Amino acid sequence: MEFTGKTYEEALQKAKDYYEVSSDDSLDIKVMAEGSKGFLGLGAKDYVIKVEQLPNSLEKNINEFRSEQIENANQNDAISTTAAASVSSEEDIQAKMNHIQKFIKEIYNSIDIEPEIKTDYDGENINVVISGEGASALIGRRGQGLDALQFITGIVANKDADYKRVLIDIENYRDKRQASLEQYAKSMARKAVREKRNVRLEPMNPYERRIVHFALQGDKKIETYSQGEDPDRYVVISYKGYKKYDRITPSRVENEEQQPRPKYDYGEYKDETEEL
């Protein structure tokens, strides 16, 4: 992903906002074009940097752990140990998926619900799809219950060193939520351009903020960045011609209009006050 700015620091800050990180330690940065101020404003050029996010710290720590185990192993068993650490057998994956299904069923059974749970492994992630009458009871407001279930299940499933990311969806909620967020983001982007001002969206979790950033990355009239601290961190859609303020400061926030989210009827997913 490429980012531009009048200075290197400005371009880098856009990249950090986009990837939701506070430092550049987890980013791979390449300068594609160096900027210049020009003469009296003429011929000025922006800095252009290409930035990619490095593997997350959890995966990095697991890989380091595996490497240490292999280095400390007996020389005669080094090859077999390396192969065992890098390639999970089908039996191990199936055992992990069975454990996941059992754990989730126990949670649902505690509230007298019998869901249908399907799991598969795509070579990188263990995907879990939950459906059936009452299954959406664990989605929660704005998907917070679903996120909590995914987080806890990931911990339970990865007690050993063979880490596999666990992704959970209930009744196709995530696709519906993504579609709603994309529609909402584009609507607010049109508003920012139409009114030639910055628009602050409501607080979102990192996953939802990233959906907004991706949905609007091709719009040349606006840019997006995040501000605030979790759980109140939010996305700002900034009209590029808006010169009065480079960023919405805390003293400015209360004077900016916080755009209400439109309501969409997703049955059990609908929240009468704030849910998309």
Peptide bond into 231 cis (omega under 30): yes
The predicted pLDDT at position 59 comes to 45
> Given the structure tokens 């598969």, which residue do they identify?
120
Q: Tell whether the model's pLDDT for residue 65 goes beyond 80.
A: no
The tokens describing 99, both together, are: 């454990």
Residue 66 lies in a domain: no
State which amino acid sits at residue 221. Answer: K
Residue 114 lies in a domain: yes
Residue 74 lies in a domain: no
The predicted pLDDT at position 256 comes to 44
Q: How far is the CA of 63 from the CAs of 56, 100, 117, 163, 179, in angstroms?
A: 11, 23, 30, 9, 35
Residue 265 lies in a domain: no
CATH number (domain holding residue 124): 3.30.300.20
Q: What is the pLDDT of residues 208-248, one digit of tens each?
A: 999 999 999 999 999 999 999 988 899 999 998 765 544 54
Residue that is last in its domain, among 122, 154, 171: 171
% of residues, the chain, pLDDT over 90: 47
The tokens describing 81, both together, are: 């140990």
State which amino acid sits at residue 66. Answer: R
Residue 82 lies in a domain: no
Residue that is last in its domain, among 136, 153, 171: 171
Task: Tally the C-alpha atoms within 13 A of residue 61's C-alpha that lie toward its C-beta.
Answer: 4
The predicted pLDDT at position 168 comes to 97
- In three-state secondary structure terms, 140 is coil
Q: What is the pLDDT of residues 123-163, one digit of tens each?
A: 999 999 999 999 999 999 888 899 999 999 999 999 887 88
CA distance 205 to 28: 24
Indicate if 166 and 198 belong to the same structural domain.
no
Q: What is the pLDDT of residues 167-193, one digit of tens each?
A: 999 999 999 999 999 999 999 999 999
Q: How many domains does one find in the chain?
A: 3
Instruction: Decide: 185 and 215 in contact? Cβ < 8 Å.
Output: yes
Indicate if 182 and 162 belong to the same structural domain.
no
H helix or E strand, kind and range, residue 246: none
Indicate if 164 and 179 belong to the same structural domain.
no
Whole-prediction pTM: 0.56
Most trustworthy range by pLDDT among 48-57, 95-104, 243-252, 263-272: 95-104
Residue 275 lies in a domain: no
State which amino acid sits at residue 81. Answer: T
Indicate if 98 and 141 belong to the same structural domain.
yes
Residue 272 lies in a domain: no
CATH number (domain holding residue 230): 3.30.1370.50
Indicate if 9 and 44 belong to the same structural domain.
yes
Indicate if 94 and 165 belong to the same structural domain.
yes
The predicted pLDDT at position 150 comes to 95
Residue 206 lies in a domain: yes
Instruction: Decide: 117 and 104 in contact? Cβ < 8 Å.
Output: yes
Domain residues for 234? Answer: 175-239
**Cβ of 258: how many Cβ atoms within 10 Å?**
12
